Amino acid sequence: MATNPKFQKVKTEHTILPEFHKMLLAIEKCEHIARIIPGRISRQQKASSEKYFKITIPTPSGFKCIMAKGSTAQELFIICSAEAIPQIQNYILSLKAQFKCS
């Protein structure tokens, strides 16, 4: 059985899609991020074998992302200051290629 990685900024009260553990460990290294909160896992009608990570909408405390693999998707909330959002989004976009996410 695989051991869970030790997250510093990711709230691990909820299950996290295992395909994204390494990417989240890299994302949380960004100094501008205060916290990362994974949302509930849901099922999608469309299924793709590719990993998918998308920055979606701003929230009052940061912004929301969607990560998906197969027919399973999970929301991810990045907590940060409004001034840091562009820097964090650029950082995440640079990581997408490294972790082979579309």
Task: List per-residue pLDDT tens for the chain, 102 residues long.
Answer: 445 567 788 887 668 899 999 999 999 999 999 999 999 899 988 777 889 999 999 999 999 999 999 999 999 999 999 999 999 999 999 999 999 998
Q: Which pLDDT value is given to residue 23?
A: 95
Q: Are 51 and 100 in contact (CB under 8 A)?
A: yes
CB atoms within 10 A of CB 36: 23
Closest CA to 23 of 5, 41, 35: 5
Quote the pTM value.
0.85
The residues, any chain, with a CB within 8 Å of residue 65's CB and separated by 6 or more, are 53, 54, 55, 56, 75, 76, 77, 78, 92
CA distance 5 to 7: 6
